[in-house]
Structure 1
């Protein structure tokens, strides 16, 4: 039988090995994240915002936190946040939203290399096109569970409902139907899925009930606008356009 001293040494050795492995894993994860490309920054935040990184780790974010390519941004209840990207594009996220920054490539010298792919997994957002979308329309796509949104130099809103839009204001006062709701303030968007494709111009509203059902134009008195609080949508410092409002105050939550 092993002596007490031998058992203690063996246990200590195992602890050292396990500690070494744990430190190696943490170091590797940190190195991988450090090598990830920074594509944006949190500029406004009210509430709790989490980033799930490509390596599976999570971090709480704050104003001025970096957004990495491959991050999934998750807003908790009563949380609004605004993110600015490398090409000056911006998105504002509603509470209970999950957005996947799948790819964000902005090549200032070679526009042909530009490529932006953002996925709206759940919840709602407003987006304003940056330099990529203005100079290379086909390089920017927003994927949603029911359709893909292509942009045309645009300020638009998108809201995906799945029995979770009970608090969203509507013209009729009724809870929005399940599916994808869009509204366009400026420019245009092209919404496509297995059922067809539809272009929505400034001032128009749209709805996509399912992945194989075509996008349809909705009358303004029935359209759903994605609204944001003024503290998040307004650029008080420079007086430029609010990205949470149409023309520009109609969409701001009172």
Structure 2
């Protein structure tokens, strides 16, 4: 057996280094861990594969999470932020990056496709609040050290077809001198949805402050306030009270802190997620 030549040894060393770099890159994509679950939760991966998640399953940047009809799910991210999903919710972790020693690389970009959630700000949002954004079908949510609830109520098929005609007719009928109240009137006008609520984005700020921004304008909401915007072209408005939306996860969801430690690292799990092919 011939001894390894110098070139062969170098090639082997380079191969090991490439493998190590690839492993580190893959590990950096882990965004958080499922720490509470009351029913089926699925994750559509960036490559299209679908997995059924369980307690302590890892959630990666690029995952689209989908809860079933009666499922609440809580994800604790590596910066100690938390997202609790309501039943029948679709939520995408578009881009999440956090390193305690590298604040310049912070990024938290989410997309609430449908349904509702509660968001609790973590270390990333506290030190780099401008690096956090949550997209929805009618506005983008920014934070200021916040706990908030957001819910997107989908319009019915009839409402979608009639939306543009309705807005044009409503705008034309308003007195131009009453311009300051036009957004509120449009927001409160009835838009049918399967749930009976006016279709659109609802928010409730529990702590801190959030900002809703869309093509119609921008508005800040403080702790205790409710907000609404029906679509991406209508400015957000403050609602005088809770319109009746509820967020009621199981009582145990409020008593578990998730993975221990202050580093924000996800808990290790020996469980193997089920892959749906």
Distance (Å, rounded) in 2 between the aligned partners of 1:208 and 1:228: 25
Determine which of 69, 72, 76 is the counterpart of 1:77: 69
The question of whether the paired residues in 2 share the 8 Å contact of 1:162 and 1:178 is answered with: yes
Alignment match, 2:26: 35
Gaps of 5+ in 1: 1-30, 165-173, 239-254
- Partner secondary structure for residue 211 of structure 1: coil
- Which of the numbers 247, 256, 269 marks the counterpart of 1:226? 247
Cα deviations by residue, 1:86-126 (Å, 9 ceiling, x for unpaired): 10000100110000000111121121221100100000000
Which SS does the other structure have where 1:220 is aligned? coil
Deviation of the 1:81 alpha carbon: 0.5
Residues 1:187 and 2:179 aligned together: no
Residue 210 of structure 1: aligned partner: 231
C-alpha RMSD of matched pairs (Å): 2.2
Secondary structure in 2 matching 1:222: coil
Tell me, in whole angstroms, the C-alpha distance in 1 between the residues paired with 2:242 and 2:106. Answer: 37
Aligned to 2:132: 140
> Displacement, 1:152?
0.6
> Which deviates further from its counterpart, 223-232 or 125-134?
223-232
Secondary structure at the residue paired with 1:99? strand
- Calculate the TM-score normalised by the size of structure 2: 0.67
Q: Which has the higher contact order (CA 8 A, sep 6+)?
A: 2
Contact kept? 2:138, 2:201, Cα under 8 Å:
yes
The number of residue pairs the alignment matches comes to: 198
CA displacement at 1:222 relative to structure 2? 3.3
Q: Which residue of 1 aligns with 2:115?
A: 123
Q: Equivalent residue for 1:201?
A: 222
Q: For structure 2, list consecutive stretches of 5 or more residues without a partner in the other structure.
A: 1-21, 157-194, 260-277
Q: TM-score, normalised by structure 1?
A: 0.73
Contact 1:43/1:64, CA 8 A, preserved across alignment:
yes
